[in-house]
Amino acid sequence: MYDAVRMDNASRLPTFDNAYQRRSAPWVIGEPQPAVLELERAGLITGRVLDIGCGAGEHTIHLTRLGYDVLGVDFAPTALEVARENATTQGVPARFETADALSLIGLSGFDTVIDSALFHVFATEEQQRYARTLHGVCAPGARVHVLALSDRTPGFGPRISDAAIRAAFTEPLWALDQLEPDIYRADGSPEDRAQLGLPAEGLVDMTAWLATARRLDNSE
Ligand SMILES: C[S@@+](CC[C@H](N)C(=O)[O-])C[C@H]1O[C@@H](n2cnc3c(N)ncnc32)[C@H](O)[C@@H]1O
């Protein structure tokens, strides 16, 4: 599955959608990522929020429940079906829309973007395009939080270096305010677990990067 995300954006869509159709995706853990919970507690989520590549909607639902103005977007129709089901089950009026993160047509004015495990699926040139696209939909001074799997330790998934984040979120469009090691919680397949010597059951904490980029306005 994860090797298959190293493909062009159009081919990637059915790969992701199939994972949701099979209800089998290592990133669907039924709860928000600890790093996102911590960002919220630290007051780093403000104003209009975009949860980009929202998947099963855990972060959109959590933040909507807390009273934030959040929109969850994903390009996979089945992801949005699952997200809407989850929101209904939990009685949360969360909003979801279809959007391609590399174009984001018709969206604007976001103050915070939560990217949990999206940036790392893109190839290098897509990462640059993505950062430019986000600049176009963000308000002045907006913050983008990127939680991406790290290549510092063995793991599963498309793991990246901190250099990839630094190269995409750079001047004149972005100032990188923070980039620190963190964790991304996942539910590995039996094959991934066996390969990495992980326990056969339970969620696993993968090494990740947590970056915060701030939109600069001297480039318009
Ligand atoms: C690894 S999953 C992470 C989902 C969720 N954010 C989480 O942390 O559980 C990546 C998500 O990004 C979505 N995605 C991938 N490429 C996308 C694109 N170009 N535009 C919008 N969504 C995309 C996938 O459908 C998938 O739901």
Pocket of ligand 1 (CB under 6 A): 9, 12, 16, 27, 53-55, 74-76, 79, 100-102, 116-118, 121
Best of 75, 107, 206, 210 to mutate for ligand 1, by most ligand atoms within 8 A of CB? 75
- Residue 123 counted as domain residue: yes
Q: For residue 9, which atom of ligand 1 is closest to its CA? A: 19
Farthest-apart Cα atoms in the chain, separation: 51
What pTM was estimated for this model as a whole? 0.96
| C-alpha–C-alpha distance, residues 113 and 137, integer Å | 10
Helix (H) / strand (E) element for 138: namely strand 138-149
- Residue 29 counted as domain residue: yes
Among candidate residues 137, 134, 139, the one with its CA nearest the CA of residue 170: 134
- Residue 60 counted as domain residue: yes
Is the CB of residue 50 less than 8 Å from the CB of residue 71? yes
Per-residue pLDDT, 1: 44
Per-residue pLDDT, 59: 98
Q: Mind listing the pLDDT tens digit for each residue in 86-114?
A: 999 999 999 999 999 999 999 999 999 99
Ranked by mean pLDDT, the top range of 22-31, 164-173, 187-196 is 164-173
- Residue 220 counted as domain residue: no
Q: Looking at the 3D structure of the chain, how many domains does it have?
A: 1
- Residue 41 counted as domain residue: yes
| C-alpha–C-alpha distance, residues 137 and 65, integer Å | 24
Q: For residue 76, which atom of ligand 1 is closest to its CA? A: 25
| C-alpha–C-alpha distance, residues 83 and 185, integer Å | 18
- For 118-135, give one letter per residue: b (16+ CB within 10 A) or e: bbbbbbeebbbbbbebbb
Q: How far is the CA of 121 from the centre of ligand 1 (A)?
A: 8
- Residue 164 counted as domain residue: yes
Q: Mind listing the pLDDT tens digit for each residue in 74-84?
A: 999 999 999 99
The overall average pLDDT reported for the chain is: 94
- Residue 38 counted as domain residue: yes
Calculate the alpha carbon distances from 42 to 37, 39, 46 in Å.
9, 5, 11
CATH number assigned to the domain comprising residue 25: 3.40.50.150
Best of 7, 61, 84, 121 to mutate for ligand 1, by most ligand atoms within 8 A of CB? 121
Range of the domain at 165: 2-215
